Amino acid sequence: MYIQLVSMHGLIRGQNIEMGRDADTGGQVRYVIELAKNLAEQPGVTQVDLFTRRLKDKRVTADYSQTFEELGPNCRIVRLPCGGGRYVRKEKLWSFLDEFIDQMISFTRRQEKPPTVVHGHYADAGYVAAEVASVFDVPFVFTGHSLGKPKLEYLESVGWTLEEANQELNIEKRIQVEQDCLSVADLVITSTRHERDDQYKNYHKDESLRFEIIPPGLDLARFFPYYEYELAPHTVDERFKQARMRMVHELRRFFFNPDKPLILSLCRPDRRKNIQALIKTYGESKELQSIANLAVFAGIRSNIEEMSDNEKEVLTDILMMLDRYDLYGKMAIPKQHDSEFDVPELYRLTASGRGVFVNSAFIELFGLTFIEASATGLPFIGTNDGGPKDIIENCECGIILDVTDQEAMTKAMLSTLTNHDQWNTMSANGINRVREHYSWDTHCKEYLKALSEVVETYEPAPSTGVSARSLGNRLENVKYMLITDIDNTLLGDDDALTNLLDLIHRERGRIAFGVASGRSLNLILEVLEKYNIHEIDVIISSVGSEIYYGRDCQPDKGWGSRLRHKWYPNRIRDALANLPYLSLQTGPGSQREFKVSYNLDDHVTPSEVMSEIHTHLDKTRSAYSLIHSHGSFVDILPHRASKGKAIRYLSQKWHLPLSNIAASGDSGNDYDMLTGQTSGIVVGNYDKELESLRENGQRCYFAKANYAAGILEGLKYYGMI
């Protein structure tokens, strides 16, 4: 197997992971790195590549700018350029993902073999992985890690409006991509039953979609038991011993009596982590204060004023509560800790003093910190909402409860700290059973078993080329290709059209020529005949759902076979039948095998109804793409179809770099063929729907000239003529 993993956001490197540096560098980063390394060690796996963004930003270290980082034999991080080099949070990445897709496709084409599977982690990487898997016609695996619908529910419960959530988090975009991923995925991997049954319950899923619950593994070489310092100190890596001394000295700065047992909390400074509840519980219990100290490691910080609003508010609250309850000398709030060595030592230090780990987050989808603590022999207390239920069932190494019940929290901490038999039992259970249930070897064997079954049952589309050898040879030997929209792009200025056609004729040995349109094939042929356009190599018709070659229109049957994957047009027509502002288009070519087309009522603003249309379409469990253009047309296509995806398919099939394909258009249904690595040309008479291409900094040329003259201007700009 050649396994491709994709994880787009956060600071990803193999050593000294900056866990907690920001909201995007958390457990997912650690998970994908450990998954990659451990998968590569399994029999039958020949290569594992973990794809992420390449960063060139003075605010982060230079190792994030290296294209390759070896994680071990047959395993590496592959960093590809996308959206410039600046490090941005995940909500700002969406407009750059098509560029990353093109980079990843180009990279993959240069490898010795195509991937066996492509696995996307989180919605942004799911978007990328689904497209790459489609291009190479291999299974797509999805892991959400956390999901947009539950997050939106929480945000609305604490007073956010949908508009605020969209502005700050692009939440509806994320939710729609998650729904799209579920529509096309061949396998979804979750960590817990709660994730499968509760987190995904409000998404529409086909009954045949396979879910596998495979808990993450743990690096047991880092999270060894606390008593190894007494029984076998000579076996402990010196770096852990140094971290231990560093943490001892750091904590002693805060405590009057540093020899008391420790109540330890480790988390990001996020309101959902509910850190304030733990401090309030401790601050209002004189008994807890008399027998234990409290240490809260809330992320990594240097200057609170420079942090995000959410983190700044939480940390300010922590400082104010420290003062309100007068916890000086009893509570530590250190600013720095290293995830590689400091964190395991904090667990072991706490266990050596017979303390307790407390995670007071409202919900934990898995609960990685719980198994980390347990593996070292440190009992935990945490939420009964989410993944910790599975951990307790498997390991019996802590107490789960309603973290909003302060009395229950106090009682659980006092019981764990004072009942030595209970502490000993939970400590031993954690050490023994985490090694049984949460090893990386166990995780990888279950993962590969599921992948093998998916690969064995996957049916790739037939590889059907064009029958005319001469045309095939031509497309494999040209240097450039021009694909242009017809209406208001190719057509509109007869003199400019004549000039363009003359150029195409003169440069026929270098430049292949094609059109891409929402029109059906017959209507395209009528236009080509009317305007005496005879030298045509490629026709992309019906908004990218059909591909033909030459004037004799040989169909690309392989493209059609790809599009049938999870495409249910009858369900779509039934789902939209009762929407009063949509009417099915009529006339020749309006409805095709891979295109369901509607007229949108003139009195409706598209932005006001698109969300409702998506909601109805999601219920069909069909893998679809929705395209609206010119303010009055709505096309629903298979998820694998669009003008842009057809162009990527042509690039892959005919081994022509995307940057050597000029794509020209004027309206919204040209949007995705103008993004990414294609040499996009927007003619001067473009619709305002395309203005966002300029705003998002896409690799796209906005011509001053209109119609075909704008195409010529763009070809000159890219150096193709």
Q: Which CATH number goes with the domain that contains 516?
A: 3.40.50.1000
Distance, in Å, from the CA atom of 427 to the CA atom of 226, rounded to the nearest integer, reads: 10
Domain boundary among 428, 457, 486: 457
**Residue 361 in tokens:** 């987050």
Q: What 8-state DSSP symbol labels residue 85?
A: S
Listed in sequence order, the residues at least 6 apart from 147 whose beta carbon sits closer than 8 Å to its beta carbon are 123, 175, 178, 199, 200, 203
The mean-pLDDT minimum among 243-252, 415-424, 593-602, 688-697 falls in: 688-697
- Binning pLDDT at 50, 70 and 90, where does residue 348 land? very high
User: What does pTM read for this prediction?
Assistant: 0.75
Band of pLDDT at residue 463, cut at 50, 70 and 90: low
Residue 109: the pLDDT is 86
Q: Is 630 left (phi over 0), alpha (psi -120 to 50) or beta?
A: left
- How far is 401 from 553, CA to CA, in rounded Å? 67
Shared domain for 555 and 571, answered yes or no, is no
Lowest mean pLDDT among 40-54, 417-431, 517-531, 552-566: 552-566
Helix (H, G, I), strand (E, B) or coil at 175: helix
Cβ-contact 603, 613 below 8 angstroms: no
The pLDDT confidence band at residue 467, using thresholds 50, 70 and 90, is very low
Q: Is the distance from CB of 31 to CB of 154 less than 8 angstroms?
A: no
User: Of 396, 423, 457, which residue is a domain's last?
Assistant: 457
CATH, residue 321: 3.40.50.2000
Quick count: other Cβ atoms within 10 Å of Cβ 328? Answer: 11
Q: Is residue 462 part of a domain?
A: no
**What is the percentage of the chain residues whose pLDDT exceeds 90?**
73
The CATH number given to whatever domain includes residue 600 is: 3.90.1070.10
Angle separating helix axes 148-157 and 171-184, nearest 10 degrees: 150
pLDDT tens figures, 283-318 = 999 999 999 999 999 877 777 877 777 788 889 999
In a shared domain, residues 232 and 375: yes
- Specify whether the CB–CB gap between 702 and 666 falls below 8 A: no
Residue 31: count other Cβ atoms within 10 Å of its Cβ: 20
Residues 102 and 147 grouped into a single domain: yes
186 in the same domain as 240: no
What is the rounded CA–CA span in Å between residue 450 and residue 447?
5
Using one digit for the tens of pLDDT, what is the confidence trace for 613-662? 999 999 998 889 888 877 788 989 998 898 999 999 999 888 899 999 99
Phi, psi of 243 (to 5 degrees): -65, -40
Compute, in degrees rounded to 10, the torsion defined by CA atoms 151, 152, 156, 161.
Answer: 140
3-state secondary structure 203-244: CCCCCCCCEEECCCCECCCCCCCCCHHHHCHHHCCHHHHHHH
Q: Region 512-519: what's the mean pLDDT? A: 93
CA distances from 384 to 158, 198, 281, 366, 380 (A): 20, 14, 18, 11, 12
DSSP letter at 130?
H
DSSP one-letter string for 538-551? EEEETTTTEEEETT
Instruction: Report pLDDT digits (tens) over 619-631.
Output: 998 889 888 877 7
Query: What is the signed CA dihedral for 10, 11, 14, 19, rounded to 10 degrees?
Result: -80
Q: Are residues 145 and 254 in the same domain?
A: no
Question: At 567, is the secondary structure helix, strand, or coil?
Answer: coil
Residues 45 and 194 in one domain: yes
Which two three-digit tokens encode residue 613? 């249309």
Pair of tokens at residue 29 = 């980063």
Token pair, residue 291, equals 């027998």
**What confidence tier does 336 reach under pLDDT thresholds 50, 70, 90?**
confident
Per-residue model confidence (pLDDT) at position 469 = 44
| Residue 156: pLDDT over 60 | yes
Q: What is the mean pLDDT of residues 416-426?
A: 97
The pLDDT value recorded for residue 654 is 87
Residue that is written with structure tokens 């038991």 in the block: 225
The confidence band for 468, taking pLDDT boundaries of 50, 70 and 90, is: very low
In angstroms, the CA 121 to CA 553 distance is 40
Q: How far apart are CA 181 and CA 647, in angstroms?
A: 21
Give the pLDDT band (50/70/90) at residue 460: confident
The answer, yes or no, to whether residue 57 has pLDDT greater than 70, is yes
DSSP letter for 458, please. Answer: -
Q: Is residue 9 part of a domain?
A: yes
Q: Are residues 611 and 699 in the same domain?
A: no
Q: What is the pLDDT of residues 367-404, one digit of tens each?
A: 889 999 999 999 999 999 988 999 999 999 999 999 99
- The tokens describing 565, both together, are 């994957």
The verdict on 508 and 533 lying in the same domain is yes
| Inter-residue contact 311 to 270 (CB < 8 Å) | yes
Number of structural domains the chain divides into? 4
Strand partners for 399: 381
9 plus 155 within the same structural domain: yes
Structure tokens at 73: 């034999």
d(C-alpha 182, C-alpha 186), whole Å = 8
Residues 260, 405, single domain; the answer is: yes
Per-residue pLDDT reduced to its tens digit, 12-47 = 999 888 887 888 988 899 999 999 999 999 999 999
> Quick check: is 46 in a domain?
yes
Give the E-state strand segments of 282-391 in sequence order: 293-298, 331-332, 356-359, 380-383
Are residues 401 and 307 located together in one domain of the fold? yes
Dist. CA 68–CA 64, nearest whole Å: 9
pLDDT score for 537: 94
The pLDDT-based confidence of 697 (bands split at 50, 70, 90) is low
Distance CA 646, CA 658 (A): 12
382/96: higher pLDDT: 382
Phi–psi pair at 537, nearest 5 degrees: -100, -40
Q: Closest Cα partner for 294 from 267, 332, 342, 320?
A: 332
Residue for token pair 């949509």: 582
Sorted by sequence, the CB contacts under 8 Å of residue 230 that are 6+ apart come out as: none
Query: Average pLDDT, stretch 53-82?
Result: 96
Could you count the other beta carbons within 10 Å of the beta carbon of residue 495?
A: 10
Asked whether residue 174 falls in the same domain as residue 232, the answer is no
Mean pLDDT over the full length of the chain: 92
Tokens of 204: 């529409």
Q: By residue range, what is the domain housing residue 153?
A: 2-217+449-457
Of 6 and 219, which is predicted with more confidence? 6
